[in-house]
Structure 1
């Protein structure tokens, strides 16, 4: 008997996720190593992440996003334009 894998694909890298490396968050499958903050690329834990519209953030960057933009939009402002 051989193990053929699963049909689950990681949302971050689109590769097959095997059971030993599977992390399921809000019904979305990730490799444990692919579960990272979209801003700083730091590894996330189930107890220390936030998600907005499917985009993952560590807690500090999720809070920073709110402080910078005044709302929870998906993008950090890289520079301010003055007229």
Structure 2
């Protein structure tokens, strides 16, 4: 469907951000922890949530090894 993962409202082409197969409004594409704006070049996604890289590292460093590759973390436990 063409609904924003965060607010569940319809997303139209002019306001769309697509990341890891998920759709967002530009203004909804924010870190789940600190609410700062992120873009497709500086985010990390895990379990359907978007994070800034700083919070992703802080929150998930104890879960195992991870690396960033173009906005897509490879998380292994």
TM-score range, shorter chain: 0.7 to 0.9
Alignment of 1:1-83 (within 5 A): 8-67=2-61, 70-71=62-63
Query: Which segments of 5 or more consecutive residues in structure 1 lack a partner in the other structure?
Result: 1-6, 73-83
List structure 1 runs of 4+ shifted beyond 2 angstroms.
none
Which protein has greater RCO, CA pairs closer than 8 Å, 6+ apart?
2
Select between 33-42 and 18-27 the one with higher mean Cα deviation: 18-27
Aligned length: 64
- Scaled by the length of structure 2, the TM-score of the pair is 0.76
As a proportion of its length, which structure holds more strand? 2
Aligned-residue RMSD, C-alpha: 1.4
Distance (whole Å) between structure 1 residues aligned to residue 14 and residue 30 of structure 2: 18
Larger radius of gyration: 1
